[in-house]
Amino acid sequence: MLSCSPRATQSISQLHSKTLLLLQARGQQAQYSSKASTKTSAIGFIGLGQMGFHMAKHLRAKSKGPFVVFDMNKDVVSKFKNENSNVLVATSPADLASQTSVIVTALPESAHVKQVYLGENGVLRGIKKDALCIDSSTIDNSVSIDVSEQIIAAGGRAVDAPISGGIMGAQAATLTFMVGSQNAADFERAKVHLAKMGKNVVHCGELGAGQAAKICNNLLLAISMIGVAEAMNLGMRLGLDPAVLASIVNTSSGRCWSSDTANPVPNVIATAPSSKDYDGGFKSRLMLKDLGLVSNAAKDSKTPLLLGALSENIYRMIASDPTMAEKDFSVVYKWISNNKQK
């Protein structure tokens, strides 16, 4: 179970007063006229991609009231409308915003988030007062904060809520959401909806904190996975049986998720992607994308990452191979161990 430490909760309540001042200051400079708040609790969903399609389905099924969707891809919109009942289709993000008081977005990259919220016919052109925008995309920490602040300045509310759990988690509604918000009320309001699409909803801190937590976890994940790949490969070349080595590591100080759950050596963990030719799981090219967010954040915050920088570039080499790019990121074991046999 994920829960806030007492210390974190405290920092969030301290946050409230700061937030109020900020909101008062912002209120005066809001550059978009926000429409009057209404009693309707219509929900909007933008981005019916591989993740969003499943997430929206659960949210539709478990929510009352109108449900409005938007996606650039008309086919996927039709498909969603056909497969779910009580679905309205918006003509643009602005149109969707003008009809809803809660908006969930699930988009691929920073550029799409900026476009959907800030662009021509973007959400901000139609946002209602106090409408809550929940962005579940994994994007640059700095972009996320900037977009959220613009939403708030325009009269809305915003949280960042990137996801861990993958497509299978989206299908099964077992996702984890890491949430950043200006205050506890926004978090609680978002949680009601996020809990319909996942099983863990964790408050990570202020705006951008969800993005920050996600990329820090994935930075460590990438490093650990390469570390397991190197350690397993060394052990096997020294004559160790991989299952024996894994069993030792998994009860010792080397234990980690990359070894005990997703071990990159085939047939050590039957359910790991490595045992299914590295299919399923978390694609190398998506790990590379997240490591790109990591290095952007590290550059902005002047944080040195020695193993992290090297890991990003190892995944850049791996993802340059079109086949490996689509495999689970544990395929790094194959990359580093194959060299012998080439």
Contacts of residue 177, Cβ cutoff 8 Å, sequence gap at least 6: 136, 161, 162, 163, 194, 197, 198, 200, 201, 202, 210
141 within 8 A of 299, measured Cβ to Cβ:
no
Rounded distance, CA 183 to CA 291, Å? 28
The CB-of-273 to a second copy minimum distance in angstroms stands at 12
**Active-site option among 57, 114, 128, 214:** 214
247 binding a second copy? (CB under 8 A): yes
Q: Which of 33, 39, 253, 270 is close enough to bind a second copy by CB under 8 A?
A: 253
By the rule CB under 8 A, 305 interacts with a second copy = yes
Give the x-and-dash track for 6-45 against a second copy (CB under 8 A).
Answer: -xx--x----------------------------------
Note whether 258 binds a second copy by CB under 8 A.
yes
Taking CB under 8 A as the criterion, the residue among 19, 319, 330, 333 binding a second copy is 319
Site for a second copy contains 1 (CB under 8 A): yes
Binding of residue 339 to a second copy (CB under 8 A): yes
Per DSSP, the three-state class of 34 is coil
Concerning whether 214 is annotated as a catalytic residue, the answer is yes
Helix (H, G, I), strand (E, B) or coil at 79: helix
Q: Which of 297, 327, 331, 333 binds a second copy (CB under 8 A)?
A: 297
Least distance in angstroms from the C-beta of 191 to a second copy: 15
Tell me 61's DSSP state.
H
Structure-token match 């659960």, residue found: 58
Residues 140-169 that bind a second copy (CB under 8 A): 141, 164
Does 175 bind a second copy (CB under 8 A)? Our answer is no
Residue 197 and residue 175 in contact, taking contact as beta carbons nearer than 8 Å: yes
Q: Angle at which helices 52-62 and 74-83 pack, to 10 degrees?
A: 30
Active site residues: 214
